[in-house]
Each structure stands twice: as C-alpha cells, then as structure tokens.
Homo-oligomer: A and B are copies of this chain.
Amino acid sequence: MGRLIVHKSDYQTPLHPASITRKLAQCSACPTRDTAMCSVLDDEEIGALADIVEHLELKSGETLFDEGDDARNVYTVTDGIIKTHKLMSDGRRQITGFYFPGEFVGITHGDACAYSAQASGPTKICQFERKAFEKVLEKHPQLRSRLLNDASEGLAQAHEQMLLLGRKSATERLASFLLMANEKTTRWHPELEDNISLPMTRSDIADYLGLTTETVSRTFSNFRTNGLIAAQGSKNVRILNSDGLEDLADS
C-alpha cells in the first residue's frame, strides 16, 4: 500500500521507464483527459489517495471482479484496457464497456457488482479499498464531484451505446467503435492520434457491438479495402480517413 502518486505538474517532462508507473498512477487522481478537473485536486488530495492506492498488473483475460461479488474495491485503469460484461444463462455475452487509462471502474453505490470485469489484454490498474476511498471522498468533495461527473458521462455513453445496439448497422457500429477507441486513446496519448492499439480480440469487439466475430472481421476487411483504415496485424489499426468513418458512424 501507498506508493507515491505524482501530480500533474511533472507529467509533461520526459520520463524514464521506471517513472512510467508513477506517471500513470497519477491518473487515478487527476486524469489529463479533463484538465479542468485536474486543477480541482490539490496536493493534499493527491496525497490522501496516495496513502491508500495499490498497484496491480493483470494478464490478458484475468478477472478483476464478477457480477454479484461484494464491491470491495474501486479501480482506475493506468495502462491497457478493462472490459465489463454481462452473461446470459446459455453463454451469450454482452460487453457493456471498455475502460481506457484514466477511467474509473467498479464505482457502485450498491454493495454488489452489477457486472463482471476483466483485463482485455495486459493491463495495469490502481486499486483503492472502497471504504478508505469513500473516506477520502468525504473529506474532498471536489473528488466526489469529479466522480459524479464520471457517472453522468458513463450514463450518457450507455445511452449512446443503446442507440448503436438498437439501431445501427454493422458498418455503422464498427465505425463508431473505432472512433470511440481513437478518442479514448488520444485522451492519454495525443501523439497516437489515428493509431489505435486494440488489445481485445475480435470476439470481444463482436460482443461489445452485438455482432459475431465473422461480421466484425468482414467489416474490418471492407474498411481496409475502401481505404478507411490500414492495419499491421489484427491489433493495430491506423485510421486513414476519419471523416469517412465519421460519415459512416452517423450520429
């Protein structure tokens, strides 16, 4: 418990590998993706979180928690991607969200987890014991405010996803997905704009988009054939024509 969390101020300077973890850990308290919120947290608050943080690394597919588990901890992603899903009794699966670096996972007001969470590719996270985390929240209302913001954003994303699942074609779904992945990636790595790493499998993408792996694969091929994207391997995509993708994604 209690490795140091580093403040934004030293984020922009070049870092050697050993500091990467510290740099990323900082995100849990103060993600660059929302600079407005950044300034809201002062050194004391960062320190309060530093006291209760635990750093973890997950292998691809490793489980963070399962639906129905006691909600003992909350997490932030610092590297890689966490996926959450729900299952039906016959095994059909819906992935309900991909969480990128800087995002919180596992915030519930109830006592039990409403869904399962796993690493989608090798992933690093910060873990906070829930009760301790809530004590910090009580002392630091700005942080709670930031979480409420996140929750609200999460709900908006969920509504957007319902539109996708209920009304969009396979092509529109994959286009929307790529744009989302690009946007979430560039929040943390602006230098990677239009170069997305997709550590999840085709099957994960399919279960997120309500499609089959075959359809996802075919649609990827279409995009390649039509010069919308280029790919080196199946897990690294370069967006060649983001306007085209946006037209396809509609709304």
Residues of chain A touching chain B, judged by Cβ–Cβ distance below 8 Å, are 84, 86-90, 92-94, 96, 108-110, 114-115, 145, 148-149, 151-156, 158-163, 165-168, 207-210, 250-251
Residues on the B chain within 8 Å of A251, using CB: 86-89
Excluding A88-B251, A114-B155, A166-B208, 8 further A-B contacts by CB distance (< 8 Å) are A88-B168, A93-B167, A109-B149, A110-B149, A155-B155, A155-B158, A166-B207, A166-B209
A57 to chain B, nearest CB (A): 26
Residues on the B chain within 8 Å of A87, using CB: 251
Chain copies in the assembled complex? 2
Whether the Cβ atoms of B162 and A158 lie closer than 8 Å is yes
20 residue pairs A–B, Cβ–Cβ below 8 Å: A86-B159, A86-B160, A89-B250, A89-B251, A90-B250, A92-B167, A94-B159, A94-B162, A94-B166, A96-B163, A109-B148, A148-B148, A151-B151, A151-B155, A154-B155, A158-B162, A162-B165, A165-B166, A166-B207, A166-B208
Assembly CA distance A93 to B163 (angstroms): 7
Whether the Cβ atoms of B162 and A161 lie closer than 8 Å is yes
Whether the Cβ atoms of A152 and B108 lie closer than 8 Å is yes
Whether the Cβ atoms of A159 and B115 lie closer than 8 Å is yes
Residues on the B chain within 8 Å of A96, using CB: 159, 162-163
Q: Which of A158, A162, A166, A209 has the most CB of B within 10 A?
A: A166
Residues on the B chain within 8 Å of A86, using CB: 159-160, 162-163, 251
Assembly CA distance A96 to B94 (angstroms): 17
Assembly CA distance A146 to B162 (angstroms): 25
A215 to chain B, nearest CB (A): 13
Q: From the candidates B89, B110, B163, B210, name the one contacting A94 in the complex (CB within 8 A).
A: B163
Assembly CA distance A89 to B94 (angstroms): 26
Residues on the B chain within 8 Å of A162, using CB: 86, 94, 96, 158, 161-162, 165
A197 to chain B, nearest CB (A): 24
Q: From the candidates B88, B93, B151, B208, name the one contacting A109 in the complex (CB within 8 A).
A: B151
* Cβ-closest chain B residue relative to A172: B88
* Cβ-closest chain B residue relative to A93: B167
Whether the Cβ atoms of B250 and A167 lie closer than 8 Å is no
Residues on the B chain within 8 Å of A88, using CB: 163, 167-168, 250-251
